[in-house]
Structure 1
Amino acid sequence: MRVAIIENSRITHAGQVGVALTEARAEVTVIRAYSGEALPGPGDHDALVVFGGEQNALDDDRHPYLPCLANLMHTYGEAGKPVLGICLGSQLLARAYGAQNRIGIAPEFGWRAIERTKAAESDPVLSAVPEQFWSFQWHDDTFDLPASAVHLAENADVRHQAFRVGRAAYGFQFHFEASRAVVANWSREFPDMIERKEPGWLTRHPELAERHGALSDEAGLALARAWVRLINP
């Protein structure tokens, strides 16, 4: 099982996705696209993971590899290979399938409740979590759904939280990979950014982690394991 992980930021954690890939004994190749490392070819791997980053999905001037990455996600998806796009990755997947990215209109931060849609009841990945579950959010942008997409999750603040295109190309706006350990690391690495994003959150972090973190970790690992099961070596 060969899986390529595309990193779009210097500090990237595979988190619960990494746990599930380790359990499955996947052969993982990490590509630091943000630093200029070459993207893989369409036949090099059995699945593709694209994590988040500070840039937006249309930031081609500063990050000229983004159109190529979107095209690669489309190629994997059309071949029936599993694709997992998280945060920026989900926005790039929407772009790859012709949908409009909406920049700066959908800020969310912290652990938030998310609801499955009716279509998610029979989905091989989203059916792994309850009708309402918790996950970590950190984004400002959103997207329209691609015309061919199945809408899988939403909440009161941002309607398009998760979708699937084809057999196994998934976009997740929320950071289900972000376990409590990952969030704690982000809190140490980005305190000024977090304070600007959500004033006072760092002070409340321990209490919020106690209240919502375990449920988020449980849902995140369930989603990660369910997606990894779709990979056909």
Structure 2
Amino acid sequence: MKSVLAIRHVAFEDLGSFEAVFQHHGFDVTYVDACVEDLSAVDAAAPDLLVVLGGPIGVYEEDTYPFIRREVALLQARLERQLPTLGICLGAQLIARAMGARVYPGPAKEIGWKPLQLTEAGRHSAVAHLDGASTSMLHWHGDTFDLPEGATLLASTDLCAHQIFSVGAHVLAFQCHPEVLGDTLERWLVGHACELAANHIDVPELRADGLLFSRQLAQQGSLCLTQWLVQTGLVK
């Protein structure tokens, strides 16, 4: 059976709608909680697919959260072998750092729903399913990163130029959240309550937008992930 190992940073930021796609295609899904489990014991080459999920910390906070160093080392070992790797939000930032790119606070927090603007390369890739004409997208981040050397930019927004990038056929990294499920978004609203309050985010509006947009995003996100899995050779 094919395997997915998902590195998780907070319990409610999980694989979301992507998990159903993996189950449909016969993957065995396992989670590792980065902050409490020993990442140095994880075999970087063992899973067929490694997914690194989101979280509320910064990649540059390794002195405060030492496990970040082990996570970056794990990603470097994986990427050197050119093995299928998927990153979401913090996961994308960690991939960028593992590839030698700078990760740093962005010009402003980007929290809420807005459509993506695809590049020409993006329109000819799996992320074409996430074009703004097809779906809105959930954004929830304050940091950004330089585009890693050898990466292809696939999508942007007005506040964040580097929203999605790929590296060959084996890496896909999302600064945004194509995996979010409307049924579990309330966990995000509670779990990130302090951040939302500090940034004066209208929670009822964010909740309403989630109800409005999340079902379509789940459909388009599933199409995107499935096409990418075919391109990597993990799914026929």
Shift of 1:84: 0.7
Give 3-state SS (helix, strand or coil) of 1:76's partner.
helix
Shift of 1:104: 4.6
CA RMSD of aligned residues (A): 2.1
Q: How does 1:1-233 map to 2 (within 5 A)?
A: 1-39=2-40, 40-123=42-125, 125-130=126-131, 132=133, 133-199=135-201, 201-229=202-230, 230=232, 232=234
Distance 2:69 2:228 in 1: 25
Identity %: 26
Distance 1:85 1:207 in 2: 27
Distance 2:105 2:37 in 1: 24
Q: What is the count of residue pairs matched by the alignment?
A: 231
Shift of 1:131: 5.5
Higher relative contact order (CA 8 A, sep 6+): 1
Give 3-state SS (helix, strand or coil) of 2:29's partner.
strand
Scaled by the length of structure 2, what TM-score is found?
0.88
Give 3-state SS (helix, strand or coil) of 2:35's partner.
helix
Shift of 1:152: 0.4
Give 3-state SS (helix, strand or coil) of 2:39's partner.
coil
CA spacing shift, 1:97–1:62, aligned 2, 3 Å = same
- Could you list the runs of 5+ residues in structure 2 that have no partner in the other structure? none
Distance 1:58 1:209 in 2: 30
Shift of 1:71: 2.8
Shift of 1:82: 1.2
More deviation in 107-116 or 215-224?
Answer: 215-224
CA spacing shift, 1:20–1:106, aligned 2, 3 Å = farther
- Could you list the runs of 5+ residues in structure 1 that have no partner in the other structure? none
Structure 1 runs (4+) deviating above 4 angstroms are none
Distance 1:65 1:209 in 2: 32
Distance 1:80 1:161 in 2: 21
